[in-house]
Amino acid sequence: MCTGKCSKCTCTKCIGIALLPLAVCAIISNLLLYFPNGEVLDASRITDLVWFFHGILGAGILVFLPAFMMLGIGEAGCCANKCRMVLSVVFAALGAAGGVYCVIISSLGLISGPLCDVGDEVDNYLLNQTSWSICKKPENVILWNIVLFSLLLLIGIAEAILCLIQVFNGLMGFLCGSCLRKRKPILSHQKQLAVSQIKQLDPNLCPLFHGTIYYNLAFIKIKNYTLSSF
């Protein structure tokens, strides 16, 4: 019996595997925001929200930590101890905070838009695509920012949800107790193995000798299993 259930360890490993590509995509998306339309611009011409490192730090580094921790627990198998489950909860909460941080900054980036004049008459540049052509340089900077900030927004939401699932999973595993192996079915299997070997003996032997062999062999099998289980 595992901490909670054995399926929880498998779920933890799957969450860790899912978080890794999300964190990589977040870092790449954040880096691309520094180069609108693939051009190198002065730092003063790039929106200030990019310098909050919401994709590199929030949805990237802070998510890598719980991802590797979850993978470690999954590799440990069904009998990961309570200490690891507590650490997974702490790191998962940290990853969830990073995801939420990425969501907040990305939302602000979509609302404020890039550093580009789209005209004073425009109330909402996101819904008025005709205003995007007003910005001549850098070319397609509005579409560039919308796509990358939207991608970071979705990544942050996905990471926060996965990390919160692991927080719940880890807490349930910690409260349900530690792993205990089921020894009774294995013990009965050892008995069956001893009986099957005894049945292979010559039935023409003396009944007294046959009975002595039966009990000695069964005792040896059970004793050997008991010693090997500790």
User: Between these two residues, 149 and 219, which has the higher pLDDT value?
Assistant: 149
Residue 60 has pLDDT above 70, yes or no: yes
Q: How many CB atoms lie within 10 A of CB 206?
A: 9
pLDDT digits (tens, 9 = 90+) for 152-178: 999 999 999 999 999 998 888 778 755
Residue 35: left if φ>0, alpha if ψ -120 to 50, beta else—which one?
beta
Residue 55 and residue 74: Cα distance in Å, rounded? 26
Residue with tokens 């003396």: 206
pLDDT digits (tens, 9 = 90+) for 171-198: 887 787 554 444 444 445 555 665 565 5
What pTM was computed for the model? 0.70
Domain limits, the chain:
6-175, 184-228
Residue 200 and residue 183: Cα distance in Å, rounded? 26
Residue with tokens 């008995």: 191
Give one DSSP letter per residue of 69-107, joined into a string: HHHHHHHH-TT--HHHHHHHHHHHHHHHHHHHHHHHHHH
Residue 149 and residue 151: Cα distance in Å, rounded? 5
Question: Which one-letter amino acid corresponds to residue 21?
Answer: P
